[in-house]
Amino acid sequence: MMIAFALDSQEVTFLKQQLSLTDKLYGVIVSIAGVGSIAGAITATATTKKFSLQAYLAVGMLLTTIGYTMFYGSFSFLTAATSFLILGFFMSFANAGYQTFYQNNVPADMMGRFGSLAGMFQSIVQIVCTFLLGIASETFDLQSVSLLFSYISVVLSVVLLLNVFKKSKQAYYAESKTEERHLQEGC
């Protein structure tokens, strides 16, 4: 996700330089992402019993990064808006999966300290990624660099997906203590 956040820093520049869009149309695209996010949150809430925590986290992350890749491959307002709708929709699933995973696996008395430490690490990685993306886009074509970074995020999302669905990792994604006990006992 840190690569995706670094890519966010290039959105306006990409839309203005590559697609020649106005500030007004940028606002419309961001609003469309918001609509996608709301629709995704409603859908994620309605489907909590149908999809596993792994699916929310890993598939949501993969489809979010595909949304970023679609965006930086855009050639018009319509393709950029569509990709932002997709991105917003699936980011809701990824965020719900991450938050649930966090709440299920970090003891309540450690959440504050762990969250602060994780947040600091994420911020450092995000700053480094943003810096590298900025330097690379000054040297090379913005669209090419952004696509490269988004491809890397897709590959990392596939790695996440493969790891999340490993049988040896199932206990981390148990929805309840009973399910976790059954997974650990091999039932």
Q: State the total domains in the chain.
A: 1
**CATH number for the domain harbouring residue 163:** 1.20.1250.20
- pLDDT value at 14 more than 80: yes
- Give tens-digit pLDDT for 66-106: 999 999 999 999 999 999 999 999 999 999 998 888 888 88
Which domain range does residue 89 map to?
A: 2-185
pTM score, two decimals? 0.85
- Give tens-digit pLDDT for 130-161: 899 889 989 999 899 999 999 999 999 999 99
* CA dist., res. 100 & res. 87, Å (int): 20
- pLDDT value at 178 more than 50: no
143's CB contacts (< 8 A; 6+ apart) are: 14, 18, 72, 73
The length of the chain in residues reads 187
147's CB contacts (< 8 A; 6+ apart) are: 69, 72, 73
Residue 159, pLDDT score = 95
Degrees, nearest 5: CA angle 51-53-54 = 95
* CA dist., res. 16 & res. 171, Å (int): 46
95 vs 187, residue with greater confidence: 95
